[in-house]
Amino acid sequence: MESVSSVLELLFWAWLGWTATGWILSQRQSHAEFKEAIQDLEQERLIALTIEVDKGVYFCYNSITKEFVCQGRDIQEIVKNFALRYPDKQAAIFDGDESAVVTLKQQMGQISENSSSIRRTS
């Protein structure tokens, strides 16, 4: 009976080690993605957007400089207008009107499967 207990204990510790290793690796991946986003911001390849909405039109501003970036009636118009103005940069919705941010992120989720040029933030 003691050998069964030892085997179960060994299996438990092996499972715990496997789980911890998986968690550590996922944290490293998340950290790497975060570091990449910060580097993009620092090198001005990524523009963090603050979103405001007025009469169904979303206005996007640079979250750091507060300068106007683009506008659109939905995420597709915003992406198109952003690309016209900043063809060599990417945008990430950062903050702003909470309901507008949620709406645009939902729209982005629906089209992000078809496009790899949009960076999604959580």
- pLDDT in single tens digits along all 122 residues of the chain: 555 555 566 555 555 555 555 555 555 566 667 666 666 555 567 888 899 999 999 999 998 889 999 999 998 898 899 999 989 888 888 888 888 888 888 887 777 665 544 454 44
Residue 93 β-bridge partners: 49
Q: 104 and 64, same structural domain?
A: yes
Q: Are 99 and 51 in the same domain?
A: yes
Count structural domains, the chain: 2
Asked if 20 and 31 sit in the same domain, the reply is: yes
Bridge partners (DSSP) listed for residue 68: 61
| Tokens read off for 69 | 């970036």
* Residue 19, domain extent: 1-43
What is the reported pLDDT for 118? 46
DSSP 5-24: HHHHHHHHHHHHHHHHHHHH
Rounded Cα gap, residues 27 and 64, in angstroms: 27
Q: Is the same domain home to 82 and 24?
A: no
CA–CA gap between residue 53 and residue 42 (Å, rounded)? 27
Residue 42 pLDDT: 53
Looking at the fold, whether 8 and 37 belong to one and the same domain comes out as: yes
What per-residue confidence (pLDDT) applies to 68?
A: 95
In this prediction, residue 103 carries a pLDDT of 85
Would residue 103 count as lying in a domain? yes
102 and 68 together in one domain: yes
